[in-house]
Structure 1
Amino acid sequence: MSTCLLCLVLLFFSVVAEATYSPGGFHHLSSLRQKKKASKSKPELPFETRYFPQNLDHFSFTPESYKVFHQKYLINSRFWRKGGPIFVYTGNEGDIDWFASNTGFMSDIAPKFRALLVFIEHRFYGESTPIRKKSHKSAETLGYLNSQQALADFAILIRSLKQNLSSEASPVVVFGGSYGGMLAAWFRLKYPHIAIGALASSAPILHFDNIVPLTSFYDAVSQDFKDASMNCFKVIKRSWEELDAVSTKKNGLQELSKKFRTCKGLQSRYSASNWLSGAFVYTAMVNYPTAANFMAPLPGYPVEEMCKIIDGFPRGSSNLDRAFAAASLYYNYSGSEKCFEMEQQTDDHGLNGWQYQACTEMVMPMSCSNQSMLPPYDNDYEAFEEQCKSRYGVKPRPHWITTEFGGMRIETVLKRFGSNIIFSNGLQDPWSRGGVLKNISSSIVALVTKKGAHHADLRAATKGDPEWLKEQRTQEVAIIEKWISEYYRDLRGEN
């Protein structure tokens, strides 16, 4: 995953089941343990790990605000020359190593630009937490976890780094995917004196305040499977009714546990439902053209591979059996899992803080229509608000992000105000429907690919990359090169 997840931004609850969506990723809590195979051992990264003393609160001057925590960041100066550009990844909701290992694009282009690479971990995630016991249950400990504080962290760290390197004139370009892409775009708008431009990949900055239809995310997931196979779409859509029918039988949960090869007996049918839907949603997000190991180890174009499994069953086979077999591609592509844990929550990538953000500022409402292949549900804001009050003692602020960063009528606003932002999206990514898909001005451009998945452009180049992905990256490099050339011309006082 190069950015999750990042890891979207919504929390919805039913009576028993629970799921969290983040632009970094769609976080089905019951599925987190299955991702351990993708990241059990941390990859060797070509970065030096450093820690920066950061104030707890940048926006007040109370004694508590000066409490210091140490923010982790990764740095690679192999190709850099003093005065050269600095490429900064604005970290999102998880361990920064995870994002660095899935954002090879920056390393690929560093030699061309002779750039310094910096990956900054988001506060309250990974090792960059002010909470000693990493408690994620109270607003008293989590109150300083928000995007504004995170952006200020980035700004202060970048300024300090440039001073320490005696390279204060170096141009800075920020990169990010998913929530990190949102932060990259917002950083350019909020701190234009620090970053000369931003590449915001798969950044759903319009998924707030009902700017896009509430059903858009799941509509996109369903469209991905329809495009692969209409029969596949129909089988998955019919499987939920079969799942409910089995679960309501006398020993229904036992039968489901056996059918789904669970490590322990299921306590709720929602666990099986979440497990299935999580596999289909995540796979739609990471439908990369080549094999990858972001959310889980998967082959190239895994949606198509799932549908081949479903379509390959003999006529008359159970829809639920077919859906389970397809979902197993996501959870067990390696074939090493003997059973599936569906009800024990683990947090291998340090994602837990996102639930708090979704309950405060990152309110991204969603619903799922009857036309979707997934179980339909209506957005119930009142129930969501009550859950947030119960869990954290906080009341969501559904209009805050658009107040702080904008989003309404973004075309006319940014056309006159902003500059130097690339919004890149692949239309197979469900989050793309909350992204900027049309050019806003000559310097705020939308690079959209028909087959692209969740921030696919930020992944490292491979020999198997299709031409459309190569062209997308070529365009991004050319635009960034133009920004940097213009900056140096201005620095020299040339017209």
Structure 2
Amino acid sequence: MSYLVFSVFVCLLCAHLPTTKSEHSVPYKVGYIDQYVDHFNFARFGNQTFKERYLIQDKWWDKKNNGPIFFYTGNEGPIEAFWKASGLMFDLAPRFGALILFGEHRYYGKSLPFGPSKSFQRPYIGLLTMRQALADFAYLINSIKKQHGAEKSPVIAFGGSYGGMLAAYFRMKHPSVCDGSIAASAPIYLLNPKFDHSFFFTDVTKDFSESVSGCVPRIKRAFTKMDQLMTEGKKGLAMLTKYFQLCQPLTGKAAYTHLLGWIRNAFTNTAMFDYPYATNFLPVGNPVKFSCDHVLSAADDISGLAAASGIYYNATFGPLKCFDISKEYVSCADPTGCGIGPNAWAWDYQACTDILLPPGSNNVTDMFPILPFNDTLRNEYCMKTWGTKPNPDWAYWGQDLRTTSNIVFSNGDLDPWHRGGVLKDVSKSVRAFMVIGGAHHLDLRGHNSKDPVSVIKVRGQEAKMIEEWVMKAKKSRQSIST
């Protein structure tokens, strides 16, 4: 899941827009805080702590006037990666006089409660939960406030994707700490076991179908021809190895299935990050169209599929002479992708506990091969891997949004996650904004000259909501102090 919409609102941002770079270079200071290993059971670990990492920048902070704290709720990866992809916070900080703070999620990056090995072993991995992470964030913010004399500063949370879910839940669970949240591309309804989770690969397919005519049929034909080659045994496997320029030859059904997952993962990420400009992880703007152009211009169907898949991995891992699919893609409890390395282990565990994720592909409602991963298969995998399984009985929380306030849920209609999110206003203070022509949390990224008008409008609406929340919080704190 692993990662990040002209009206009256345009002028709210225009005074502080940076250059057209979308991956900003704002420096940060790295800090560590002694964070409790377990916030809810002191009998087991007592007061044992670990070092939680955070990033901070105070160059715009108006401390004298209790400027707000803009807090990023770190998600499934090293925190510096989200710093680079969350330019909206830096675009807005000068206007609001904000202190910027990014908190790293426990069990990701360098915030490992029991070290790089033990943290991912049972039973220690059991302390990786959303509730623990939210408690970490609350403790971090309160500690930073004390250190910097910022007790009266309002706190606005920002997050994208899983981080967007956390930003929303942070406001719900810790309203005394968080005064409002921008929850970008946050599919919070996935935690409802009764919600239809089957939309994801259908919407990935829709992105490619609507981008270039004829793209999806050719992709489907390529998968069919790959299956036909598989029936030829070693000869077919050798041909597939050559088509996809694999470092290690395919040796059988398991390796072939992993290749199919590797291909699907490339198309999934291309759809999620279909931004109108190049990024540090995709080399071109409008990568869905770029991939389809390769699919359609290739000499044959499988060559086109291979070329389109290689675009993503060449950009992610740098120019490759061959593709090592065992290192570039990890099969896990999340069919949409877990990433690689220790971060993948952590997300795999969360996909087996407190996150309910989409099923696999079916080749009927989507363009991908039949790679099933239903609740039964997921439970079997999770029990075998972690000794647990997703528990919707306690994961289903925070769904009645009428009980909360001060949250913006933003989504892009190109984002294959958007149907799992909040698409309609719930109240005057729980709003839903749609970025037409926007991919995964495009609004959270920094200003770019190629941004669609819709994302400029949504960012302006978000700025207006933040202004209301900050003014209300300051007024409330002032009345209490007097």
* TM category, shorter: 0.7 to 0.9
> After superposition, where does 1:31-430 map in structure 2 within 5 Å?
46-82=27-63, 83-135=66-118, 137-251=120-234, 252-267=236-251, 268-293=255-280, 296-313=281-298, 317-332=299-314, 336-344=319-327, 347=340, 350-369=343-362, 370-402=364-396, 405-407=397-399, 413-415=400-402, 417-430=403-416
Mark the runs of 5 or more structure 1 residues left unpaired by the alignment: 8-41, 408-412
Q: Distance in 2 between matches of 1:429 and 1:446?
A: 15
Match of 1:28 in 2: none
Q: Distance in 1 between matches of 2:328 and 2:118?
A: 15
Code of the residue aligned with 1:99 in structure 2: it is F
Contact 1:125 1:351 in 2 (8 A): no
Moved more, 141-150 or 42-51: 42-51
Contact 1:136 1:352 in 2 (8 A): no
Contact 1:221 1:281 in 2 (8 A): yes
C-alpha RMSD of matched pairs (Å): 2.1
Deviations 1:302-328 (A, max 9, x none): 101111222234xxx432121112222
SS at match of 1:292: coil
Q: Distance in 1 between matches of 2:341 and 2:95?
A: 35
Moved more, 180-189 or 320-329: 320-329
Match of 1:6 in 2: 3
- Same amino acid, percent of matched pairs: 39
Moved more, 122-131 or 357-366: 357-366
How many Å apart are 1:398 and its aligned residue?
2.8
Contact 2:297 2:304 in 1 (8 A): no
SS at match of 1:253: helix
Q: Distance in 1 between matches of 2:160 and 2:258?
A: 29
How many Å apart are 1:488 and its aligned residue?
2.2
Q: Distance in 2 between matches of 1:479 and 1:93?
A: 27
SS at match of 2:82: helix
Q: What's the TM-score once normalised by structure 2's chain length?
A: 0.87
Change in 2 beyond 3 A, CA 1:260/1:367: closer
Contact 1:93 1:354 in 2 (8 A): yes
How many Å apart are 1:193 and its aligned residue?
0.8
SS at match of 2:214: helix
Change in 2 beyond 3 A, CA 1:381/1:323: same
SS at match of 1:429: coil
Q: Distance in 1 between matches of 2:145 and 2:315?
A: 44
SS at match of 2:144: helix
Q: Distance in 2 between matches of 1:186 and 1:214?
A: 20
How many residues align? The count is 444
SS at match of 2:471: helix
Q: Which has the higher helix share?
A: 2
How many Å apart are 1:228 and its aligned residue?
0.8
Q: Distance in 2 between matches of 1:349 and 1:172?
A: 31
How many Å apart are 1:212 and its aligned residue?
3.5
Change in 2 beyond 3 A, CA 1:466/1:116: same
Mark the runs of 5 or more structure 2 residues left unpaired by the alignment: 5-22, 330-339
Q: Distance in 2 between matches of 1:156 and 1:280?
A: 39
Contact 1:287 1:302 in 2 (8 A): yes
Q: Distance in 2 between matches of 1:52 and 1:266?
A: 47
Code of the residue aligned with 1:440 in structure 2: it is V
